[in-house]
Structure 1
Amino acid sequence: MNGAEWFSTRAGGLNRYFECLAKSLGEVANVQVNAVAFGDAATWGRSWGPLDQSTASRFLASRQDVGVSTDIVDTHFALYSARPRKKSGTIYVRHFQGPWASESEATGASSFAVTCKRVFERFVYAQDDHFIVLCDRFAKILSDDYSVDSSAISVIPPGVDLSQFSQVEADRKGNLPWAICVRRLERRMGIDVLIRSWALVVSEIPQARLEIVGTGSMELELKALVVSLGLGASITLSGRLSDSELSRAYERATISVVPSLALEGFGLIALESLATGAPAIVTDCGGLPDSVNGLDSTLVVRPNDPGALGARIVSAFRGKRPSPDECRRHAETFSWERAALAHASLYGQLIAKRAADAIS
Structure 2
Amino acid sequence: MQATTLRAVPAATPIRSIRSLQIGMHWFPERAGGLDRMYYSLVGALPGAGVAVRGVVAGSARVAADTDGAIEGFGSAAQSLPLRLMAARRALRRQVEAQRPDVISSHFALYTFPGLDVTRGIPQVSHFQGPWADESHVEGADSLGQRAKRYLEQTVYARSSRLIVLSSAFGKILTTRYGIPQDRIRVVPGCVNVDQFDLPMSQNEARLKLQLPLGRPIVLAVRRLVRRMGLEDLIDAVKLLKRSEPDVLLLIAGKGRLEGELQTRIDEAGLGENVKLLGFVPDQHLAALYRAATISVVPTVALEGFGLITVESLASGTPVLVTPVGGLPEAVAGLSQDLVLPTTGADAIADGLARALNGSLKLPDEQACKAYARANFDNSVIAGRVAEVYEEAIALG
TM-score, normalised to structure 2's length? 0.86
| SS of the residue 2:196 aligns to | coil
Paired amino acid for 1:329: A
2:81 partner letter:
T
Deviations 1:123-142 (A, max 9, x none): 22222221111100111111
SS of residue paired to 2:164: strand
- 1:74 paired with 2:105, answer yes
Q: Please tell me the residue identity of whatever aligns with 1:349.
A: E
State the 1:120 CA deviation. Answer: 2.0
- Residue identity in the other structure for 2:366: P
Q: Give the match for residue 251 of structure 2.
A: 211
Q: Which residue of the partner structure matches residue 357 of structure 1?
A: none
Query: Which residue does the alignment assign to 1:49?
Result: 75
1:257 alignment partner, SS class: strand
State the match for 2:181 in structure 1.
149
> Helix, strand or coil for the counterpart of 2:296?
strand
- What's the counterpart of residue 373 of structure 2? 331
Q: Distance in 1 between matches of 2:395 and 2:334?
A: 34
Aligned-residue offset at 1:303: 4.7
1:35 paired with 2:55, answer yes
Amino acid of the structure 2 residue aligned with 1:150? Q
Q: Deviations over 1:62-88 (max 9, x none)?
A: 112123211100011121111251545
Contact 1:164 1:247 in 2 (8 A): yes
Letter in 2 for 1:212: I
1:275-299 CA distances to partner (integer Å, 9 max, x unpaired)?
A: 1111011111111111111211121
* Range that drifts further, 296-305 or 182-191: 296-305
Indicate if the aligned counterparts of 1:254 and 1:278 stay in contact, CA closer than 8 A: yes
Residue 139 in structure 1 maps to residue 179 in structure 2: no
Distance in 1, Cα, partners of 2:262 & 2:256: 10
**Whole-Å separation in 2 of the counterparts to 1:120 and 1:76:** 13
Which residue matches 1:61? 87
* TM-score, normalised via structure 1 length: 0.94
Native 8 Å contact 2:203 2:292 kept in 1: no
Q: How many residues are paired up?
A: 353
Structure 2's unaligned 5+ residue stretches are 1-21, 208-213
Computed over aligned residues only, the root mean square deviation of the Cα atoms, in angstroms, reads 1.5
State the alpha-carbon separation in 2 of the partners of residues 231 and 154 from structure 1.
44
By how many angstroms is 1:169 displaced?
Answer: 4.1
Within 2, Cα distance between the matches of 1:353 and 1:2?
21
1:37 is paired with a residue of what secondary structure? Answer: strand
Distance 2:268 2:89 in 1: 48
Cα separation, 1, equivalents of 2:239 and 2:160? 48
Structure 1 residue aligned with 2:349: 309
Given the alignment of the two structures, is residue 21 of structure 1 paired with residue 42 of structure 2, yes or no?
A: yes
Q: What does residue 26 of structure 2 align with? A: 5
- Residue 98, structure 1, aligned to residue 140, structure 2: no
Match of 2:285 in 1: 245
Give 1:270's aligned amino acid. T
Structure 1 SS opposite 2:197: coil
